[in-house]
Amino acid sequence: MKRKYKIIIPIIILAGLFFSFQKYNQPDPEKDKILIGLIRYALKQGHYEPHQIDDEFSKNVFNDFIDALDPYKRFFLQSDIDEFSVYKSYIDDQIKNEDLSFYNMVYTRFNQRVSETKTYYEEILKIPFDFEKEGTFSVDYDNKPFAKSQVDLIKNWQLQLKISTLSRLQEKIELQEAFAEKEESETKTPETFAELEKEARESTKKSLDDLYSLMDDLDDTDWFSVFINTLTLQFDPHTNYFAPKDKKRFDISMAGKLEGIGARLQKREDYTRVAELISGGPAWRAGELEVGDLIIKVAQGDEPSVDIVGMRLDDAIEYIKGKKGTEVKLTIKKIDGSIVVYSIIRDIVELEETFAKSSVVEVDDRTFGVINLPKFYIDFNEKNFRNSATDMEQEIARLKKENIEGLLIDLRNNGGGSLKTAIEIAGLFIKDGPIVQVKYRGEKPNVRSDKDKKIQWDGPLVILVNELSASASEIFAAAMQDYNRAVIIGSKQSFGKGTVQNVLPLNNYFKYSKDLGALKMTIQKFYRINGGSTQLKGVESDIAMPDRYTYLDIGERDEKNPLAWDKIKPANYSPVDIYENFHGAVNDSKKRIAANPQFMLIDKNARWIKKGRDNNDINLNYDAYKADLEKRIAESKEFDAISDYKNNLVFNSPTYEIPMMEKDSVLAKKREIWHKNLSKDIYVEEALTVLSELKISKNLLVKN
């Protein structure tokens, strides 16, 4: 289901059209047929849970491909859909026969409809809009019908252009009012409503001109990739095809060279979404951009903004990335529906900041350690390169010298990484035993174990997670939970990605003169040692704390066609019994959270966000639209206390790091920012309170 806000900036809706604009270049039928055959064979032979390619599969591909090309139903007519429908139950047969008739028909018609629409917006935008007229527009596109005629299609365009212009008009009025308040002595005559409305229409037109020009460069390779990915999407959300140029970008990203703002971005419907902030990067240091934010416009310094909604992800990234020291201004749509502009100075993101780091903190005159682990990193090509397991072992050793009484490991926003290091890190907290079960299709599970009997930390352990803790993070947290070794605290559950992918260069399997790209395919599934999969369910926290994502679907369960949760036989393991008051500490924390006004406010904010996202109607009358915006802004003021919160804890670097910071001002600044963030973090505060209450029994880690 597409989730929208009531107070949605209509530029987003309009820009969403242009996901699909391109120049119709001559297809390469031979290469396309080879790709279809290779993809079908690879998925059938290698996918963990191969999908039956039948009539039901055909119907889903039919719907998904049309939706990928025209998600807002602004190009195709109902008569087009009726004509395409002759193939609705036969796409499976065409795939098996390497027949591209359905693709060719839809793609050709799509180009025709796109060309026809180029004349619409120029004519519509020549005439002022009547913003006194009452009316609303629904952005519930899932339930919108396709236009029955060209007249209906043009009417739909008129509404889209009107709401796009309305949002720009409101922005211009707000800027003029803000300028007037700050520059009262200036004698500049304010522009009239009519003048600002004209400028808003011109701005809308320029945005469309730019996007048509940009999308005109796409060719059949790009759009055939869209078609192939509607096939792979039926198997699971992590199986997808990389065209040759996309494969090159993927290889660069995997090499770990991170430049620009320090954020990993992903495509979510037609939006560019912040999927991860790189620890220590420019966006992370600025402290404003958040995971889940949608980037809707990009400006280079003081240059005009470019709408990027609807752009392909790699094209959007081209606007966002840039040379070190240059400024980029991002217009962001927050998850609460508000629109803000963030200025970020680009930089080279140092790999150092993806490494584990530690801090010490006093709680009731007792010392505790905090380790932040941004990812489970390893480099298989360099023997002496750092990895997360050896770094964690070293950080624990350093914290033990600080005489800590308990350890908090922060895995929030840790998207995973190396399974090998996750197993080794788990082994730092138990004597030995199984950590995870990994299973190929049709084979018995392979139990991966810690065989090193050394225990690096045998004291109280709390692990902090959130909805974005995924994959290897979930393996580690699940193992600690299954062994009763740690209290898991955080969001209701972690992300829920319990699958493993492998990238297959297709030219390795078929000798061809042209580059065929690659297929990223799900080949394995993770299972906990208790037998349950981490897929979909993730790791459920022993102590759940409300956050702004509580009522939103943000994990694997929100993806399309995720693999199902299931269970296999448990591994042979024995939980440890080291805490005298595990359940007591957990229950006390739950009571504190339930009675805490700050957590109550966070929960109220989460419900407010959910309510706003579920409302699909936008007012087309200016006064009503403005009133809705002002009401939303006024309501949001109640939640300012969430970001203003301070926990009054003081965090410091461990002793070993102090001389390093004295010599390295950049490192010192990074630690200052991290410690400041920790001192405002209610989740860390509660986790440390739980940690301080845990009591170790005399029979420490008696056996596994």
When mean pLDDT is compared over 13-22, 133-142, 452-461, the highest value belongs to 452-461
Per DSSP, 498 falls in state: -
Identify the CA nearest to 700 among candidates 578, 612, 586, 600: 578
Domain ranges for the chain, please list them: 10-232, 243-349, 355-693
pTM passes above 0.75? yes
Confidence label for 20 from pLDDT (cuts 50, 70 and 90): very low
- Structure confidence at residue 702 (pLDDT): 41
d(CA 43, CA 659): 54
Is the model's pLDDT at 675 over the cut of 90?
A: yes
Which residue in 172, 357, 497, 537 is the catalytic one? 497
d(CA 101, CA 60): 17
Q: Which residues pair with 352 in a beta bridge?
A: none
Give the per-residue pLDDT at 127: 95
| Cα(308)–Cα(295) distance, integer angstroms | 8
Structure confidence at residue 119 (pLDDT): 86
Query: Structure tokens of 658?
Result: 């102090």
Distance CA(411)–CA(690), nearest Å, equals: 16
Please say whether the beta carbons of 499 and 526 come within 8 A. yes
Q: How many CB atoms lie within 10 A of CB 577?
A: 15
Q: What gap in Å lies between CA 347 and CA 4, rounded to an integer? A: 33
> What is the pLDDT, as a whole number, of residue 175?
77
Residue % of the chain over a pLDDT of 70: 89
pLDDT tens track for 504-513: 999 988 888 8
Angstrom distance (rounded) from CA 490 to CA 485 = 16
Task: Give the residue, 387 or 433, on which the prediction is more confident.
Answer: 433
Closest by alpha carbon to 430, among 474, 371, 481, 387?
Answer: 481
Q: Residue 15: which pLDDT band, with cuts at 50, 70 and 90?
A: very low
Which of 17-26, 45-54, 218-227 ranks highest by mean pLDDT? 45-54
Reply yes or no on whether 471 is catalytic.
yes
Q: Which CATH number fits the domain 355-693, given the four candidates 2.40.160.40, 3.90.226.10, 3.20.20.70, 3.10.105.10? A: 3.90.226.10
Residue 482 is a catalytic residue:
yes
- Helix, strand, coil percentages in the chain from 3-state DSSP, rounded to 5: 45, 15, 40
Per-chain mean pLDDT for the chain: 87
> Per-residue pLDDT averaged across 16-29, rounded?
49
pLDDT digits (tens, 9 = 90+) for 583-616: 999 999 999 999 999 999 999 999 999 998 888 8
Secondary structure element (H or E) that encloses residue 683, with its range:
helix 682-693
- Beta-carbon contacts of 154 under 8 Å, excluding residues fewer than 6 positions away, are 120, 124
Give the distance between the most distant pair of CA atoms in the chain: 81
SS3 category, 606: helix
Predicted local distance difference test score (pLDDT) of residue 588: 98
Strands 518-527 and 499-505: antiparallel
> Is 74:157 a contact under the CB 8 Å cutoff?
yes
pLDDT of 117 > 90? The answer is no
Q: Can you tell me the mean pLDDT for 196-216? A: 83
Active-site pick, 482, 542, 547, 681: 482
Query: What count of residues does the chain have?
Result: 704
- pLDDT at position 367: 98
Report whether pLDDT(653) > 70. Answer: yes
Contact by Cβ (8 Å): 450, 433? yes
Domain 243-349: which CATH number of 3.40.50.300, 2.30.42.10, 1.20.140.10, 3.30.750.24: 2.30.42.10
Catalytic option among 207, 225, 471, 533: 471
pLDDT category at 1 given cuts 50, 70, 90 is very low
- What local confidence, expressed as pLDDT, does residue 255 receive? 38
pLDDT higher for 669 or 455?
455
The confidence band for 76, taking pLDDT boundaries of 50, 70 and 90, is: very high
